[in-house]
Amino acid sequence: MYHLPRTFTFAMNQEIRPLLQSPALRQIELSHAHLPLMERAGSAAFALAVQLLQDRTAQALILVGPGNNGGDALVAARLLREKGFNPCVVLASDPERFPPDARNAFLAWQASGGTCYTDVPKGLYGLIIDGLFGIGLTRPIDGIYAEWIQAINQFPGPVLALDCPSGLNADTGMAPGPTVKASHTLTFIARKPGLYTLEGPDHCGHISVASLGLEAAVQTASQGRLLDQETGVHAFTDQLPRRALNSHKGSHGSVGIIGSAPGMAGAALLAGRSALMVGAGRVYVGMLERLAVDPLQAELMLRQADEVFDLATALAIGPGLGASHEALDLLRRAINCDKPLLIDADGLNLLAAHPALHRHVARRSATTVLTPHPLEAARLLDQGILAVQSDRISAAQRLARQFNAEVVLKGAGSVIAAPNGQWAINGTGNPGLATAGTGDVLSGFIVALLAQGCPAHEALAAAVHLHGLAADHCVANGQGPLGLTASELLIPARRQLNEWVSQH
């Protein structure tokens, strides 16, 4: 079998944003307990609060919870008071039961002349600071704190959440009960994955990080990474195609897309068009329902489904594949093929319905990529969709291990996972992607990069990031999010990819 030469290399760029879960963050805090971390956190919160207040006569309402998150808020309140502001501090818990650092922050607030209310007084506020609960909370909020959160979420002005919006699980992005909807979140030490996936993006607003002087510890403990618009390109520039002038279509890979059952030709055609737009030299679409030509993309070469195996450098199976016996036979043949393979959509559903195939996928010597949405992931893992969504990182990692595959668990904050335990959350994209065909476009992007020789993990990360970024460009240009169609992603994706190449 002919293999393209590996012309891509990967090196983790130091500008990539690390993501840390609660146990690692707790360990960092414990190992640096000798440092005035609460004072540093409160100082960072004070500085951002001053920016958000703008008008020095405006009053900040500061809601203080029973733990160290409340201590951070009390430090910010004290500093605001010392600088001539008049913050209103509301505290419903007993300070005598605070953790030691938070207790000291409360005493310092009192010593500065500050007082506390036990419930929210009526007033005109220029800012609300949410210092109720930090990253440790995993249960739904109830009682007086739930009432305060309801009031926060009706406030028309800026809301600053400290570390994590209260009620949001900072590890998973779950919001099981009343949860603050912040306009700004100032997170401490490092970014938390729950801020960027599932319900996190709907609650966090603009996210900034105060590292508290612990950058080196964070880099050492880093578990995952965030791919956002500011740093995403740095992750991919070493893997993007660098084309010689003396090249031809055969130099840039041949993609095979297998799908297109009767009535579902559009899915495979979208995937094929997408593969062309990100640089595949040739694209063959193997169709169960045969068409003579794609009238919108005549460059696609349409074949019988079983004809593309020997023509392609990399394969994708699933877009519009259906669930017929013929579809199952094609999936078996694809799994046994010694070429990079992406399984999507109906291919994943067939795989879930036939557990005997799982071990064959896991034993493949060539690259395997799986691209499930949450329901498809739940079927593959034989569990409920709530179990998948309640811990998206863990679900993606389990799939990666179980199938020895590169995996993207799609959704808000798509999670990318590798068999070796590496994971990332993509920070691009918007609700415009919640429409038919966008998954087929993503599959085309991924398999095209695989066909060009890009290593699997980097191909997946680059394609997912590019896919979301194309949607963001569309929305910025007035093409959505309402009414954005999958095919509209192709031109901005091509433009963005070429910009990355030109920057390299």
- Return the H-helix or E-strand segment holding 172: none
In angstroms, the CA 398 to CA 404 distance is 10
Residue 378 is part of a domain; what is its CATH number? Answer: 3.40.1190.20
Closest to 349 (Cα-Cα) out of 328, 326, 325: 328
In angstroms, the CA 380 to CA 374 distance is 10
Strand partners, 257: 285, 316
Domain match, 212 and 310 both = no
Domain match, 78 and 49 both = yes
Which spans in 249-288 are helix H?
265-277
The pTM (predicted TM-score) of the whole model is: 0.93
Domain match, 101 and 124 both = yes
Domain match, 214 and 255 both = no
Q: In this structure, are residues 232 and 428 in contact, taking their beta carbons and an 8 Å threshold?
A: yes
Q: Which domain holds residue 111?
A: 21-221
Domain match, 263 and 202 both = no
Angle, helices 346-353/325-335, rounded to nearest 10 degrees: 90
Domain match, 153 and 249 both = no
Q: Which of 194, 221, 248 is the last residue of a domain?
A: 221
Instruction: List the pLDDT tens digit at each of the 504 positions of the chain.
Output: 333 333 333 233 435 689 999 999 999 999 999 999 999 999 999 999 999 998 878 899 999 999 999 999 999 999 999 999 999 999 999 999 999 999 999 999 999 999 999 999 998 999 999 999 989 788 899 999 999 999 999 999 999 999 999 999 999 999 999 999 999 999 999 999 999 999 999 999 999 999 999 999 998 888 899 998 766 555 566 666 678 788 888 778 899 999 999 999 999 999 999 999 999 999 999 999 888 888 888 899 999 999 999 999 999 999 999 999 999 999 999 999 999 999 999 999 999 999 999 999 999 999 999 999 999 999 999 999 999 999 999 999 999 999 999 999 999 999 999 999 999 999 999 999 999 999 999 999 999 999 999 999 999 999 999 999 999 999 999 999 999 999 999 999 999 998 888 776
Count of structural domains within the chain: 2
Residue 110 is part of a domain; what is its CATH number? Answer: 3.40.50.10260
Domain match, 195 and 148 both = yes
Q: In this structure, are residues 392 and 409 in contact, taking their beta carbons and an 8 Å threshold?
A: yes
In a domain, 321, yes or no: yes
Domain match, 193 and 48 both = yes
In a domain, 286, yes or no: yes
Q: Which of 165, 189, 221 is the last residue of a domain?
A: 221
Domain match, 148 and 38 both = yes
Domain match, 113 and 146 both = yes
Domain match, 217 and 240 both = no
Domain match, 240 and 198 both = no
